[in-house]
A = this chain, B = another copy of it.
């Protein structure tokens, strides 16, 4: 092995947050702080924008006890951004600036923690640095509740959201069955193009309290079929619980959530109303049933109090392995997982080419969806169930989560 690069590192977070993205950041930060080849650990304030704006937080200045709380703190503690960086071969303005900052702080390691777009950013930075001959190892650390990153078995962040969703479906299911007069409940989960999170509602069925139907964006939505499904179930059982993905769409590709016209609220503005409310309302008109439309909204992606212990551990491990790999001289890779579920669940980290993972979306396999297109089958359960095992060790104060509070000391 060649002599490791000696210099500072930057860790940045990007895209929508999750319950465990900070656990990955902590994996990077702690491992980097402990590594003798890494001279300083910087956190980019609001992702790549923090690099471009020369806003770097000095992680060495933080209390190690406080940093450890990152394991149980949701959202991106360093701040996130949604910034689409140009292709360096077309416009290298941003890259020149990044190089300038890397040189200013002697940055030799760059870790980027995010989803599809972040892996794309990572790949471009890696490519540019190689092109200009600036020695800097770049590793991506995956994060997305959507679970749509290519290559890896699953993404840190997905399992915690899945656990929250399954738990909430169990609880709402108990609530919705309490009266002798029935109810139709429609619950909307996140997932614009991939139905992983919505499918996770099926885990609740394994405990006897899940949804009757699950509609994913992986299948074209048929409104008449939906109405028939729900009506039949309601008439038979006096109750019906449905999970719908925000991204369900008709055969022509049009999102069901956008199929609204002339809706205005009392203030004369266009009505934003949610998909769940719209479908619930529709079913009320069709069946006369009492209905509830529930949107899990941001709750599902930040519910650290209900995070999966497995997810937290794996998220940390991904960050740790990113640093270890970079110090070992590797660059242009993303840390992902390869899992074996034959006997017990065994999850190992594996490096994927950034070029291969960026900008592909992994969807729920068609063969994991039932024939009627309104539920998932055992293959999905077998895939997902191991991921939600174990509980968070979150410390509470005053009966509430005690989240990490960073000092946020900026580098000059």
Residues of A within 8 A of B (CB): 17, 46, 49, 73-76, 79-82, 163, 166-168, 170-172, 174-180, 185, 203-204, 206-209, 259-267, 269-274, 277-278, 280-282, 285, 292-299, 301-306, 308, 310, 385, 388-391, 396-403, 405
Inter-chain contact A295/B298, CB cutoff 8 Å: no
Having A263-B264, A263-B265, one finds 14 other A-B pairs with CB under 8 Å, namely A81-B180, A171-B302, A172-B298, A174-B403, A204-B400, A259-B266, A259-B267, A265-B282, A267-B278, A271-B271, A271-B277, A273-B273, A389-B398, A391-B399
Given A79-B180, A262-B264, also A298-B302 (CB < 8 A): no
**Contact B265–A273 (Cβ < 8 Å):** yes
Assess A299 versus B259: contact at CB under 8 Å? Given A267-B282, A278-B265, A405-B208.
Answer: no
Residues B299 and A172 in contact, CB atoms below 8 Å apart: yes
Q: Is the CB of B17 within 8 A of A178?
A: yes
**Alpha-carbon distance A163/B396, docked complex (angstroms):** 12
Chain B positions within 8 Å of A292 at CB level: 297-298
On chain B, the residues within 8 Å of A206 by CB distance are: 398, 400
Residues of B within 8 A of A402 (CB): 207
Task: Quote the shortest CB–CB distance from A164 to chain B (angstroms).
Answer: 9
Q: Chain B residue with minimal CB distance to A273?
A: B273
Option from B81, B207, B277, B285 in Cβ contact (under 8 Å) with A401:
B207
A401 to B170, CA, bound (A): 8
For the complex formed by this chain, how many copies does it contain in all? 2
Interface centre among A73, A172, A185, A208 (most CB of B within 10 A): A172
A297 touches B294 (CB 8 A): yes
30 contacts between A and B (CB under 8 A): A17-B178, A75-B177, A81-B180, A163-B399, A166-B400, A167-B305, A167-B401, A168-B303, A170-B400, A171-B303, A174-B302, A175-B302, A206-B400, A209-B403, A260-B265, A263-B264, A265-B278, A265-B282, A266-B278, A267-B282, A269-B282, A270-B281, A271-B278, A272-B277, A272-B280, A294-B297, A294-B298, A305-B306, A308-B399, A391-B396
Are A304 and B171 in touch, CB under 8 angstroms? yes
User: Is A281 within 8 A of B285, CB to CB?
Assistant: no
A304 to B: closest C-beta gap in Å: 6
| A226 CB, nearest partner CB in chain B, Å | 12
Residues of B within 8 A of A49 (CB): 180
Which residues in B have their C-beta under 8 angstroms from that of A398? Answer: 203, 206-207, 385, 388-389
Contact among B46, B167, B303 for A180, CB-based, below 8 A: B46
Give Cα A398 to B391, complex, Å.
11
Q: Chain B contacts of A385 at CB under 8 A?
A: 398-399
